[in-house]
Chains A and B, each alone.
Chain A
Amino acid sequence: MNRSTSLRYVSHMLRRTRSFYVSSGDTVAGRRPTLRDQQLGTNLRQARGGTGLTQEQAATVLKLSQPTIARIEAGKRPPAPEELQAFLDLYNPPQPLRDAINACATLTDTPGLSPNSYFVEMLAAVEDAAEIRTFHSERTPMQLQSQQYALLQHRLADNCFGETDVLRSREQRLRIFTRENPPHYRALLTESSLHRTPGGSLVVVKQQAQYLLRLLEQYPRFSLQIVHTYAKLAYIDTDFTLLRMPSGHPDMVYVPYGLDGRLIKDRHGVDERETYWSAAQHAALSEEDSRKLIHELAQHG
């Protein structure tokens, strides 16, 4: 590429519409607490209240300062993941409050105000699952989203989570691949989901494709097949995540539905989804051809 072409590229990249701004109020005041921070802080204060501990006493045990505890409870400083676990270990709140605290720390695949309890339960079950089979069309689950995809999606949705929350949640979801003895994760994505990026960003199409290729390279237990546009499949079902659990525990299927969802545990319902997943896999491109298709996107968008 010659010099003038390169300079035109530089101008073009700088001239692209910059559609995301932090308002001057946020800039002057520093980090503005999100709704999630405030809710989490309130829940932690309630959890501490249940123990009878003062902020000073909690601070001593947790090796934090009382003003830090106060700021966390006021939602002005989100706790780091290990800090949140330390709070839960110390306060040992009753299960409903513990679930509410964990829900505050959980992002769904599609931005919403709070995840439903079935989704939270499904995420907990993932930790023990022996095998995971997923089907997604038009959407990409968070563990398969590049950082850029995840951040852009949440920014566009203008929800209550900040950038740190999004990236931390995504890191947690990546434990599917990084935990000790990870499950086999077999993903089916429709071809359209490779092109359906937040806000229709073409830039993200390439980045996201490159990210999927990196995941395939890094994690041998992750496999991905693309259900292409002309696949011989009778219909495209709603997204679902199928968990095969260790013996003695029921398999389950999570099906999202807006802000709600369903967690199917009856054998008949699980079998139905298994059958569909197998049919979709049979109709999908092979793993090798899927990788070629994604590679093409990663190169050319």
Chain B
Amino acid sequence: MSQGKSGSLPPVTVHLDTPSLARVYDYLLGGMTNWEVDRSYADQLLDQFPLMRRIAFAHRLFLNRVVRHLVGQGVSQFLDIGSGVPGASATHAVADHKRPGTRVVFVDNDPVAVAHTELFLDREGDRRRHAVVDADLRAPENLWQQALNTELLDPDQPVAVLLIGLLHLRQPDADGVEIGPDSVAKLRELLPMGSYVAISHFSEEGMSNDVRATFADIKRACRESGSDSIICRSQTEIESLLGDYRMVTPGWTAAVDWRPEETGPSAPAVSFPPSCNEVIWAGVGRKP
């Protein structure tokens, strides 16, 4: 796995007077843990790309169904990577609704998001079952060790790893080389037998030309500002992120179409027009 010549990672930006993805996402989902700077930015984005809110809800819908399904399959421990700011419909709430007692470790590399999560867990979590870790997917061994250090995860039992709306964000090493797929591959190796990995990933494939054109404007604005943070993968490339894991039925599909029978009470209702139904490509794999 490449981590660049230095083996280290680039610094993580701490967004205190600039928008943060975690807080923008929270605003799009109707949360309260966001600031004026995030809301202004999100409103401008929505003005250009109204689908953004539905995209956020689609990720959340997929998370809801995946967690409910896997709890139903007997999974009792979850590792939610890139968890951002938890809200009312966060992983632990969904899991507890299905079966109380599930353990959840949240992970984010944004220290403000981690702090918000700590406060959230102070108020609404159960410290015997829930924790948050400040760690980075790009250092998967360290992330896994930090998660184990919480003592909430049994390394001899299956773990469900959630990579929801994360991997289409660039994961560069210190040399700017994209190491997201390698990092996921390493994490897959580290997980116990029978573990699951759930991925939801933005994709342009299947978009109509006009929707693709709108999104191209957003990407250009990001690129021109020096913030080229979105990586567009084909569906085939997305599917390769799960390597040799065995797919959970129905396999890879549009996130909004994944196991609708698992929709829980806190799940958002969201759909896309046919012109971009596959804008979020999603699947769950299991380690054989």
Residues of chain A whose beta carbon lies under 8 Å from any beta carbon of chain B: 1, 3, 6-16, 18, 20-31, 63, 65, 67-68, 71, 80-83, 146-148, 151-152, 155, 162-164, 166-168, 171, 199, 201, 203-204, 206-207, 210
Docked-complex contact B36 and A203, CB < 8 angstroms: yes
Q: How distant is the Cα of A8 from the Cα of B146 in the complex, in angstroms?
A: 40
Say which residue of A13, A26, A151 sits within 8 Å of B18 (CB atoms): A13
Chain B neighbourhood of A63, CB < 8 A: 128
Chain A neighbourhood of B35, CB < 8 A: 146-148, 207
Q: How distant is the Cα of A167 from the Cα of B84 in the complex, in angstroms?
A: 16
Q: Which 7 A-B pairs have the closest CB atoms?
A: A163-B115, A21-B11, A14-B225, A31-B134, A20-B14, A14-B227, A15-B225
Docked-complex contact B17 and A80, CB < 8 angstroms: no
Q: How distant is the Cα of A201 from the Cα of B41 in the complex, in angstroms?
A: 17
Enumerate 8 A-B pairs (CB-CB under 8 Å) in ascending A order. Answer: A6-B44, A13-B19, A21-B11, A27-B11, A81-B122, A148-B17, A168-B122, A171-B119
Chain B neighbourhood of A164, CB < 8 A: 114-115, 118-119
Chain B neighbourhood of A23, CB < 8 A: 11
Q: How distant is the Cα of A63 from the Cα of B36 in the complex, in angstroms?
A: 40
Docked-complex contact A7 and B134, CB < 8 angstroms: no
Chain B neighbourhood of A148, CB < 8 A: 16-17, 35, 37
Docked-complex contact B134 and A10, CB < 8 angstroms: no
Q: How far is the CB of B103 from chain A (nearest CB, A)?
A: 14
Among A80, A162, A163, the most chain B Cβ lie within 10 Å of the Cβ of: A163
Docked-complex contact B47 and A1, CB < 8 angstroms: yes
Q: How far is the CB of B180 from chain A (nearest CB, A)?
A: 15
Say which residue of A6, A11, A15, A21 sits within 8 Å of B47 (CB atoms): A6
Residue of A nearest to B224 (CB): A11
Among B18, B45, B133, B218, the most chain A Cβ lie within 10 Å of the Cβ of: B18
Chain A neighbourhood of B143, CB < 8 A: 30
Among A15, A28, A63, A80, the most chain B Cβ lie within 10 Å of the Cβ of: A28
User: A7-B48, A152-B16 given as contacts; is B114 within 8 A of A24 (CB)?
Assistant: no
Q: How far is the CB of A218 from chain B (nearest CB, A)?
A: 13
The yes or no answer to B151 lying at the interface (CB within 8 A) is yes
Docked-complex contact B119 and A167, CB < 8 angstroms: yes
Q: How distant is the Cα of A27 from the Cα of B227 in the complex, in angstroms?
A: 20
Chain B neighbourhood of A22, CB < 8 A: 11-12, 14, 109, 111
Restricting to B119-176, which residues have a CB under 8 Å from any CB of A? 119, 121-122, 127-128, 133-136, 139, 142-143, 146, 149, 151, 174
User: A6-B44, A27-B136 given as contacts; is B217 within 8 A of A20 (CB)?
Assistant: no
Chain A neighbourhood of B247, CB < 8 A: none
Residue of B nearest to A63 (CB): B128
Chain A neighbourhood of B128, CB < 8 A: 63
Docked-complex contact B14 and A11, CB < 8 angstroms: no
User: A20-B14, A23-B11 given as contacts; is B48 within 8 A of A80 (CB)?
Assistant: no
Docked-complex contact A65 and B41, CB < 8 angstroms: no
Q: How distant is the Cα of A256 from the Cα of B135 in the complex, in angstroms?
A: 38
* 1/0 contact string of B195-209 vs chain A (CB within 8 Å): 000000000000000
Q: How distant is the Cα of A16 from the Cα of B227 in the complex, in angstroms?
A: 10
Docked-complex contact B225 and A11, CB < 8 angstroms: yes
Say which residue of B122, B135, B146, B217 sits within 8 Å of A80 (CB atoms): B122
Q: How far is the CB of A118 from chain B (nearest CB, A)?
A: 28
Q: How far is the CB of A48 from chain B (nearest CB, A)?
A: 19
Docked-complex contact B17 and A167, CB < 8 angstroms: no
Q: How far is the CB of A221 from chain B (nearest CB, A)?
A: 22
Q: How far is the CB of B34 from chain A (nearest CB, A)?
A: 10
Docked-complex contact B19 and A167, CB < 8 angstroms: no
* 1/0 contact string of B63-95 vs chain A (CB within 8 Å): 000000000000000000000000000000000
User: A68-B151, A163-B112 given as contacts; is B14 within 8 A of A10 (CB)?
Assistant: no
Q: How far is the CB of B237 from chain A (nearest CB, A)?
A: 25
The yes or no answer to B221 lying at the interface (CB within 8 A) is yes
**Beyond the given A82-B127, A148-B16, could you list 7 further A-B residue pairs with CB under 8 A, ordered by the A residue number?**
A1-B47, A10-B44, A10-B48, A11-B224, A15-B227, A162-B111, A207-B36
Chain A neighbourhood of B121, CB < 8 A: 80
The yes or no answer to B187 lying at the interface (CB within 8 A) is no
Docked-complex contact A7 and B146, CB < 8 angstroms: no
The yes or no answer to B116 lying at the interface (CB within 8 A) is yes
User: A7-B48, A164-B118, A168-B122 given as contacts; is B226 within 8 A of A15 (CB)?
Assistant: yes
Q: How distant is the Cα of A166 from the Cα of B119 in the complex, in angstroms?
A: 11
Residue of B nearest to A65 (CB): B151
User: A18-B18, A168-B118 given as contacts; is B136 within 8 A of A10 (CB)?
Assistant: no
